[in-house]
Amino acid sequence: MTWKKLLLPLVLLSASLTSTIAADRPNILFIFTDDHAPHAIGAYQGWLQSVNPTPNIDNLAAQGMLFENSFCTNSICGPSRAVIQTGKHSHKNGFMNNGNSFDWNQQTFPKLLQKAGYQTAIYGKSHLKGKPQGYDDWAVLPGQGLYYNPDFITPDGKKRVEGYCTDVVTDMAIEWLKEGREGEKPFMLMVQHKAPHRNWMPALRHLHLYDDVEIPEPATLFDKWEDNSPAARYQELEIDGHMDINYDLFLDLTADFDQPATQKRQDRSAWNNMKRMSEEQMKTWRDAYGPKDEAFHKANLTGKDLVRWKYQRYAKNYLRCVKGVDESVGTLMDTLKDLGLDENTVVIYSSDQGFYIGDHGWYDKRWMYEESLKMPLIVKWPGVASPGAKNTDLVQNLDYASTFLDMAGAEIPEDIQGKSIVPLLKGEGDGNFRDAIYYHYYEYPSVHMVPRHYGIRTDRYKLMHFYQFDEWEFYDLQEDPDELTNMYHAADQDLIAEMKKKLEDIRKHYDDDSDVTPFPMEKQKEFWPNDR
């Protein structure tokens, strides 16, 4: 018998062990977007489903599990990402609002995955400031980043890449999958898109998408927030009163870059991005929007007709940005298949929070109301998660770090506050995963002027406290899913007391000792003069 024949059983055994290890330690592709509301995903069957916004993401859901009750802990970009990195609430990871800087020296799940033998990479939006740690390769947008010809911060310094941001990030990820990986080593790849964040600038190929379509209006487009606390009336995120027709909706910016902003806290990112467009890109924009602008001026709209026009312009641009993301998902899925990685790669699709697409007359996020609290979560795990399955357990972005570590067979540190959803993906849940979620928003006074608040949500009820003004709201989501009727004073007070007790208990459970002292009355009157 030759030495080659003697070694053959060992070679076969080694191959078998490698296959077993690979099956037990899947690759992880985490596709993460910004401000993509679940109701702008067809698989979630919201009121935007009729325009078929996301066929590729819907296909992903058909191959995996869709979580119907997926929530964030703090509905704003940077803090949501910090929670995902650490598996800890904002008050624990130190990143409570977008003005903070993330401490990259702290424990994060990518670092723990590296220790467990995973190769890690991140491309796209980080929004945590500083250079990412825990990644073998990375290229991230500075701050919010730009849609066209964006800059990236890399280990070799800043570089500008020509093209559309969603496409550029996708190309970076594909290049890494094809050329940057280390053989059979398991990987965790984060593809972090800027889209569909404000200002909603679509790819050139999508500028005419939906031109001949009337986007359905949300039932609450003309909500007047009459039964909410004053917080809902003193915000600055109304399509009617706060969405800038030039800066947010590009009216006349295709011809004139000297329009004055109507808002003191105006987002000028689209303005700045247009100034660095190539001549060809700018010409395509002008050709697309110029005739639409001319038609708008001729119509001379006012009142609700103007609001409806603004909503259509906004919603179409938002969904055009979503289309670019959906195409990216399809391209990434095809790449995994072409490389023979599709059967041993968990693919997760999520976004940092929900978003208002005209719901309650608003845009943006921040609130603990459902449209901004809910975030999409779809997981395809071949051989584990049943295709087309739907889960109704209360899960949060707090759970992602534990879940990724659990998928990798890595130890989950005791100080991580989230829970692994792997048992739910395996169909082993007993319906008692979590009886309530905790939420805390901190950024006030600031952009959009949504007051600080914390609260608790169960499968049926929600209690919120806008503590700077000592205002409470309570909703029965079963009877009032749109949260139009604040039942704090009208509901059974024993139920209110029970929910308050649950809220204090969950704050203690998560060790949230944040200062929730109300403003002095005189300071309250500065912000809400008519309600104090």
Q: What is the pLDDT of residue 8?
A: 39
The DSSP call for residue 371 is H
- Domain made up of 439-527: CATH architecture: 2-Layer Sandwich (3.30)
Alpha-carbon span 401 to 404, nearest angstrom: 5
Map residue 28 onto helix, strand or coil: strand
Give CATH 3.30.1120.10 domain extents, the chain: 439-527
How far is the C-alpha of 99 from the C-alpha of 143, rounded, in Å? Answer: 11
Tell which CATH architecture fits domain 20-200+315-432: 3-Layer(aba) Sandwich (3.40)
pLDDT at 15: 37
Other Cβ atoms less than 10 A from the Cβ of 301: the count is 14
The C-alpha atoms of residue 240 and residue 312 are separated, in whole angstroms, by 12
Residues of the chain with pLDDT under 50: 1-23
CB 402, CB 412: distance < 8 Å:
yes
SS3 content of the chain, % helix, strand, coil (to 5): 35, 15, 45
Q: Where are the alpha helices (DSSP H) in 87-212?
A: 90-93, 109-115, 165-175
Give the integer Cα–Cα distance in Å for 176 and 182.
10
Q: Is the distance from CB of 376 to CB of 38 less than 8 angstroms?
A: yes
Nearest of 417, 511, 510, 532 to residue 466 by alpha carbon: 532
Residue spans in the chain of domains classed CATH 3.40.720.10:
20-200+315-432
β 437-441/119-125 pair status: unpaired
Tens digit of pLDDT for each residue in 145-167? Answer: 999 999 999 999 999 999 999 99
Phi, psi of 348 (to 5 degrees): -115, 135
Phi, psi of 210 (to 5 degrees): 75, 10
pLDDT for the residue 456: 98
Confidence (pLDDT) at 316: 98
Residue written as token pair 């998660």: 385
The per-residue pLDDT for 256 is 67
Q: Quick one: pLDDT at residue 2?
A: 41
